[in-house]
Amino acid sequence: MKAAVELPSADDHLKQMAGMLEWAQTMYLSEMPDRERIAARTAVAACIKFVIGTMPNGIDLVLPLRELNYALHGLDQGVSAPMLERAKKKGGRKTPISTELFRSMAAVLMELYSETGSGRSQAAKNAAERLAEMGYRDGDGQMIAASQIEDWRDKVNEGGDSLGVKRFRKALEVVRKVQPDDPEKAIELVLESLSAFRRPDVPQVRNPQDSE
């Protein structure tokens, strides 16, 4: 009589997914060619394996993820799947979403520094210096200018329905709720959240030690 095969538990699947996602994160932050797509494919594959391994009807739930994975593979072959083709809109998007969201968070930093009592110019300077300390640079590898952060803050304060404006408002709402009476601690919360940003354009995270 054959021994019963012990199937992987949900915890086993979770650990496997975590390992794949950690690998994807390492790849994304590396200097390997095509690292972004390789990392994205691995992250998508990790989610597919987890869903199939932990849900009774998992195989029926991963079609969109599978198609996305196939589309990412297609890009390596020079084939662009319909889902990855740029939408045709008048004017087009000039600023990548990731960059727009980063700029909104830089604006949040300036806003919070203003709440510490710093004037407009000083608040922008403080925000620029903290971003530089974290290794963020502009597209030319230079420190992000305080005047640029002032412009970003002015833009999100103009209002509108863009993702940047929404992120600005939501981030301020959250940090003020968590730290209603201490803008300095709220600033640290924002800086911690920025550690997730690494962009191939503006801004780009670089190791501060590289300039030493």
Mean pLDDT score of the chain: 83
Residue 78 zone, left/alpha/beta (φ > 0; ψ -120 to 50; rest): left
Does pLDDT of 124 surpass 90? yes
Residues 6+ apart with CB under 8 A from 197: 98, 101, 102, 105, 136, 203, 205
171-186: per-residue pLDDT in tens? Answer: 999 999 998 889 999 9
Please state the rounded mean pLDDT for residues 180-198: 83
User: Is residue 39 very low, low, confident or very high in pLDDT (cuts 50, 70, 90)?
Assistant: very high
User: Is residue 1 very low, low, confident or very high in pLDDT (cuts 50, 70, 90)?
Assistant: very low
Could you give the CA distance from residue 186 to residue 39 in angstroms, rounded to a whole number?
31
Any idea of the CA torsion for 181, 183, 184, 185, to the nearest 10 degrees?
60
State pTM to two decimals: 0.64
Long-range contacts of 108-114 (CB under 8 A, 24+ apart): 108/168, 108/171, 108/172, 108/175, 108/190, 109/149, 109/187, 109/190, 109/191, 110/149, 110/150, 110/152, 110/153, 111/153, 111/168, 111/172, 112/172, 112/175, 112/183, 112/186, 112/187, 112/190, 113/183, 113/187
